[in-house]
Chain A
């Protein structure tokens, strides 16, 4: 695995927006010496992540598989800046996310990360259209209503803009979630078992949708799945246990 250390360190000192259109972006996601433990109720530390190196190139699509409780979601949270590793570097699009303060990290997440969850996490009070707009509301780039309509059209829900999540099928809900994740033109898409709650008929559709959208937009995709069938469709499949050795921290 390879890491562009110069670029990663430069990200610490430079506004992250300046790297958005780097003409030769070789690496989109770097994890270097990432360590993460949780404190258990009995006071003991529970090691979850110990990753020496992990890299994704720009536009690369990787399926991450592993056992439950293996740290997959924690890894995604660290990449998204929702959680912070105890040590190490998480560099996304040239910006060391874990070195950012909370407010810039929130903004970074809004502008560069797209997230798709297993349970969709759509807000029930908002229509499909409003859920997509909500994704744009926190980015600081403003709300682009036409783009929201286009994205819903892209996921095949152009005719269900005003429907609320409760009025949509699970497959449709996940498609809204995909549209919302694409709302801010992210650099990295993090998908946490996006097909696990979708019926078999829709699994293919949702997966195709995510992959096609990422391919067309050169978005780096890191997709967590338990499904071998899903993983088999990816050109690169990473088993977390092969590069994450938390037991060594114990």
Chain B
């Protein structure tokens, strides 16, 4: 009969008290395991490439806001960037995939964010592989969307489907600006669910995706003309027109004609882009150069349009203020009246000219479209790991110094957030659970220590039978260790059982996918840590046993 068997017998002798104290440890460890598992999931969502992209491009501003709004759909986006910038990114030879997204609308039911994008969004894995051979996790879409999408088709996340009870064929409307704001309004256009995503454990589960074409066709989703022109000019005006192109100040073309020219160049560009998709080698290079020329020509037309309309708008404003000034006179002179007539005629002409662009447009032209962000995957030549990451660093640096946009590696701000905030919360919770375990350990101490008075005789008998002081000390220490270790193992199991039971409820309530079998490395330290704790706990009652006066205890 070895000492462990003897210790086990003593534990069994006080089965109820022993079970309760071990249960205390088990519950503490169970909480600790839950905290570890949940924070492990959160940490992974912050630290891994939680989307399958190297960069997120958006307007200049907080990189964290950009990533939170576009990837995690938390908070409002910074602003928008011109659609043309998306085109630029898409056409860059270093870029493998560029996926535009538009945000700002929500579902009326449930207030889920609407993301307008294209089909490419669903072709990129939502979670990249950890190794070059690992393909990662790809979207699984159920429904006719798989075979093709029309403008007003929509794909809904799994959580949206379960929460709103939506399925294929259901229709919904977009709410601009969110369901709970004063300025919100419901768009008339209806979108039809043609695809339902399988659960991904990402914010995609809580998102409704619509096609960009449909999104732009919704009234009010094109930019106001002046804003579009200003943004276009800010982003592309000066930089792209430097070089060989000179303006011809004598060329007098109406604003409508200029727009037709811009649209014609856009159509040429789209054709060239489609051709380039099929081309390779020298032909591809030639098409790319041709596309650059088309873009420049389009910019020139747009810049001329911008200058003309700016000049006309400015003249319009100045004439209106002059007319107001003359109209304010109590007794205008004949000369002033003649000037007022002249102004009226000029204003009427100018107003017609400025309205022309609105009149000729059926769909927003490319320069009046905007996107909220662009997800970018860089080219990754096979067998050369790290190239895509290197390209993304260079590309982000270029964007920083050039345009009004920023390109952000989504992991960087999230890691910062994780380190500065979430990491601290995790640390606080972790230490709280450790304290709970220590308190449970103190329970074991109290239980064993209290039992020592009743066990003096038992210890004395063992000593009378020849047990050394060290032997009885070890037996008591082993009891503490066995109770703590058993509590620890049971706690780890209970923790995972709890996670297993809670996972579907958590998923239903929050959309957070929890792998019930997720094992955190830190759990490996739980049982050894408890053994150490138990060794400390067992010292005092162990010493009591050690010091037991055998003759006195036998005489009691």
Contacts and interface: CB of A to CB of B under 8 A. Distances in A.
Genuine A/B complex: yes
Contacts, number: 72
Interface in B12-71: 12-13
A102 B464 contact: no
A23 to B, nearest CB: 27
A111 B9 contact: no
Interface in A77-113: 77, 80, 82-83, 102-103, 106-107, 109-111
A171 interface: no
A110 B465 CA distance: 5
Contact of B9 (A74, A106, A130): A130
B466 A109 contact: yes
Given A123-B9, A125-B10, A125-B13, A134 B462 contact: yes
B6 interface: yes
A126 interface: yes
Interface in B346-386: none
A137 interface: yes
Given A73-B555, A123-B458, A130-B1, A137 B6 contact: yes
A117 B556 CA distance: 12
Given A125-B10, A137-B6, A83 B551 contact: yes
A74 B551 CA distance: 8
A238 B166 CA distance: 100
Contacts of B465: 109-110, 115, 134-135, 137-138, 180
A110 B551 contact: no
A80 B463 CA distance: 11
Contact of A138 (B12, B466, B551, B555): B466
B466 A121 contact: no
A133 B465 CA distance: 11
Contacts of A207: none
B185 to A, nearest CB: 77
Nearest to A102: B469
Interface in B418-465: 457-458, 461-465
B447 to A, nearest CB: 16
B9 A138 contact: no
Interface string A171-191: 000000000100010000000
Given A123-B458, A125-B13, A134 B463 contact: no
A143 interface: yes
B13 A124 contact: yes
A121 B554 contact: yes
B501 interface: no
Interface in A128-159: 130, 133-139, 143
B9 A125 contact: yes
A125 B469 CA distance: 21
Interface string B462-477: 1111111101000000
A63 to B, nearest CB: 21
Given A126-B9, A138-B466, A139-B466, A77 B461 contact: no
Nearest to A137: B1
Contacts of A110: 465-467
A143 B550 CA distance: 24
Nearest to B460: A121
B467 A106 contact: yes
Contacts of B461: 121, 123
A117 B9 contact: no
Nearest to A104: B468
Interface of B: 1-2, 6, 9-10, 12-13, 457-458, 461-469, 471, 550-551, 554-555
Given A80-B464, A180-B465, 16 more contacts: A74-B551, A82-B464, A82-B551, A82-B554, A107-B466, A109-B466, A121-B461, A121-B464, A130-B1, A134-B6, A135-B465, A137-B465, A137-B467, A138-B462, A138-B471, A184-B466
21 contacts: A77-B551, A82-B463, A82-B464, A83-B550, A102-B468, A106-B467, A106-B469, A107-B466, A109-B466, A110-B465, A121-B464, A123-B458, A124-B13, A125-B12, A133-B1, A134-B465, A136-B1, A137-B465, A138-B462, A138-B467, A138-B468
